[in-house]
Structure 1
Amino acid sequence: MLGPARFGSSATAPADRLADGDGAGLRFRPPPAVVLLVPVVVSLLVQVPGTIGLSWWQRVPPWAAVTSILLAAASALALLAARRWPGPTVAVVAGLTLVDLFVPPVGGPPPIALVFAIIGAVVRGARVWALVSVGIAWIIAVVGPELAAGLFGAASPVGAVEWHPARIALATVGLAVCFAIGEGMRARLRGAQERRTQLAARRRAAEQEERTRIARELHDVLAHSLSQIAVQSGVGLHLFDREPERAREALANIRALSATGLDEVRGVLAFLRGDELASPDTAPLTPQPQLAQLPGLVAGRSGLGLTVALDDRLTGDLPPSAVQTTAYRIAQEALTNVVRHSAASHATVTVQHEAAELVVTIADDGAGFPASAPERGGLRGMRERAELAGGRLTVDSGARGTSVIARLPWTGTP
């Protein structure tokens, strides 16, 4: 079966490399409570002491000073609801900030709470709430005093407030910058989330590929061993009375096949448990089969009316080990299908080097199967093996038999 290096390089290592290479997974993320409380504390520290100082400096009436301080504190404390209700929060903060504009002292501290509320609303997806709330507050702040003065005259409830054009322009630019910062942070967070999603998808794909590879190896081992055991047991039963020595030989083959199959299955299961890292001697791993083992495979498939021959045209020239393993497994599965499904009397395994490809052909004279028949699991597994090795597999089946042709790159995949 596949050893630890080969298994680990295909599943575990890529996932680790992806995790190490993804910066979003290594950045420090403060606790949610800190993210929620920092804007509240900063807003309180900027707005409340600043309002107290300006009220004392400008000698505003006590009622006005208390009202302005309460408005500043309320707008900061309203940010506590920003995570659960970002839209209503920015609306409340915008309204409190608007009222505070018309309450002495004049030219109070910057509305830091409104800045945090706008950015938080945009980041959390409440963009419409922020645009509507801030837009209405801006319009009321700019045209409200003149409109109230025209309607109420000297009895206007907002008093005589005049905004300098430069201050209006500066406030408008500041609000636009807040929205831009929020959009930038939202785009950055969305990109980080997409990267995490892609990383998780790649990890799942790697894990699924590894599970498929393990399942394919187990299928090959079990199908090969069990089909051989079935053949040998049939031979033993057929010759038990007439040729007891050959029946004894068949039983010995069954014993050897079962032991080999168990060793290979234990190798795969030991890797899944990680036992080979702790105690290699308790779960030996079977080496990867190579083309040199094809004669034994072919010889073991003959019996009960089926004759299998090997036509080796490689003249000693062999491809890399991984390509040999793929070719062996395809030949093994194809011969298993011949034994189980074809009812053939003769089969031939041909291996040759054509151009830059290793060509493995398994042909039999069995009944074949219709082209419209669904592809059996064995054929699908062989096709997947060939494609993973960078090659292709074709099946030609008819009334005169079936030919399975695998073309694999001689040098293997990069």
Structure 2
Amino acid sequence: MSGQTWDETGPRFRPPPGVTLFVPVVVAFLVQVPATIALSWWTRTPVPVAALSVALAAASALALLAARRWPGPTVAFVAALTAIDLFVPPEGGPPAVALAFAIIGAVVRGARLWALIAVGIGWLGAIVVAGLMDVSWHPFRIALATLGLAVCFAIGEGIRARLQGAAQRRAQLVERRRVTEQEERARIARELHDVLAHSLSQIAVQSGVGLHLFDREPERAREALSNIRTLSATGLDEVRGVLSFLRGDDGGAPVTAPLTPQPQLAELPALVSGRSGLGLVVELDDRLGADLPPSATQTAAYRVAQEALTNVVRHSAAARATVVVARDGDELVLTVTDDGAGIPSGASERGGLRGMRERTALLGGSLAIETSTHGTTVVARLPWEPAS
């Protein structure tokens, strides 16, 4: 079974179009025509009358060829032929298989009203004409024929309901797949934003500072270049790790680059150290110690801290920032504060801050951002044990 796939958006089985078109014609023809010929011969029916009876049986069967394109007119035509055949010898001919196929096909193809009207008029007309012509039918035969017609309608309704249910399930599966793919694209975009935007924004800031201080303060310019080198190497490693993670690479093959698709809280000191320098002091207050939440919560907290510190560097012109990680009951609380000029108006709708909100919401947490001209405070509350 390896290597095979199952497309659950398609029907489990669908016969070829030729089967659904020609099988009813062939079955109706083989049941009605030979039986009518044999019965005419057995009852010594006159040849002209027998020929008319055989022609009616053959015509009703062949009319099913038009059932796919014109299901309504087809069931009306077959019902009329069947009603006429009731009054043409020999009496008590073969079952009207063509009419059964026509009724079922019409109901399945959405021509239910055609079938109801045609069969109702044909059956009522046959009863009225039989009374006028003094033709007597056994009550059991009438009841059996009526029951047979009702069964045909029931079968058609059952098949139609089943097909509609299957189509609805396929549509639901397609929609579910579309939503899943959209969520996956959003997750990939979020991961790439986290590992690219932050590193690149830091590199841009550090390179600008290095160029500005290159002649006046070469030591600080050298520090900026060193930070650029570290940030670029770290960002490249993270990009490789994320791409490897998204491709589903496992440990079966050697990997030359470090895989870091899911950073943890243990990496916060390195993040804080990387954001410090060039006039900005970032401090970490870790109140968790060895008590750590599950991996998903750690990753979300790290990414929120990463985005918050990136905003401090890019927008706030702060001199000091603090990252506090603590536990409050069943929640992990991450707080990032700075003494800068605040987040620019409208920035809450941008990708980075929106990504922080999405990350906390996905785990069932909350994010609060308070900003003013005296600084910004970001508080992320994440469930210690995320719902599985």
What TM-score does the superposition give when structure 1 sets the normalisation length?
Answer: 0.86
What is the aligned length?
384
Match of residue 50, structure 1, among 18, 29, 35? 35
User: How many angstroms apart in 2 are the aligned matches of 1:271 and 1:79?
Assistant: 58
User: How many angstroms apart in 2 are the aligned matches of 1:371 and 1:168?
Assistant: 82
Q: Does 1:180 align with 2:165?
A: no
Contact conserved, 2:242 with 2:261, CA < 8 A, in 1?
no
Match of residue 357, structure 1, among 322, 331, 354? 331
Which region of structure 1 is more displaced relative to structure 2, 387-396 or 129-138? 387-396
Contact conserved, 2:82 with 2:99, CA < 8 A, in 1?
yes
Contact conserved, 1:319 with 1:411, CA < 8 A, in 2?
yes
Alignment of 1:12-411 (within 5 A): 27-147=12-132, 149=133, 160-270=134-244, 281=255, 285-369=259-343, 375-411=349-385
Contact conserved, 2:75 with 2:102, CA < 8 A, in 1?
yes
Contact conserved, 1:349 with 1:362, CA < 8 A, in 2?
yes
Contact conserved, 1:276 with 1:283, CA < 8 A, in 2?
no
Q: 1:85 to 1:271 in 2, by over 3 A?
A: farther
Deviations 1:243-279 (A, max 9, x none): 3243223223212322322332234445566777996
User: How many angstroms apart in 2 are the aligned matches of 1:108 and 1:123?
Assistant: 27
User: How many angstroms apart in 1 are the aligned matches of 2:251 and 2:44?
Assistant: 79
Unaligned runs of 5+ in 2: none
User: How many angstroms apart in 2 are the aligned matches of 1:248 and 1:372?
Assistant: 35
Counterpart of 2:328, as a letter, is E
Unaligned runs of 5+ in 1: 1-15, 150-159
- What SS does the aligned partner of 2:378 have? strand
- What SS does the aligned partner of 1:349 have? strand
User: How many angstroms apart in 1 are the aligned matches of 2:131 and 2:261?
Assistant: 90
Q: Between the two proteins, what is the percent identity of the paired residues?
A: 73
Q: 1:189 to 1:80 in 2, by over 3 A?
A: same
User: How many angstroms apart in 2 are the aligned matches of 1:316 and 1:277?
Assistant: 28
Deviations 1:202-247 (A, max 9, x none): 1111111111100000111111101210222133123312332432
- Following superposition, the deviation at residue 283 of structure 1 comes to 6.6
- Following superposition, the deviation at residue 287 of structure 1 comes to 4.6
What TM-score does the superposition give when structure 2 sets the normalisation length?
Answer: 0.91
RMSD of aligned residue pairs (Cα, Å): 2.4
Counterpart of 1:394, as a letter, is A
- What SS does the aligned partner of 2:291 have? coil
Which region of structure 1 is more displaced relative to structure 2, 220-229 or 271-280? 271-280
Contact conserved, 1:47 with 1:73, CA < 8 A, in 2?
yes
More helix per residue: 1
User: How many angstroms apart in 1 are the aligned matches of 2:352 and 2:183?
Assistant: 17
Deviations 1:141-175 (A, max 9, x none): 1002334x4xxxxxxxxxx5322222222211111
Which region of structure 1 is more displaced relative to structure 2, 236-245 or 28-37? 236-245
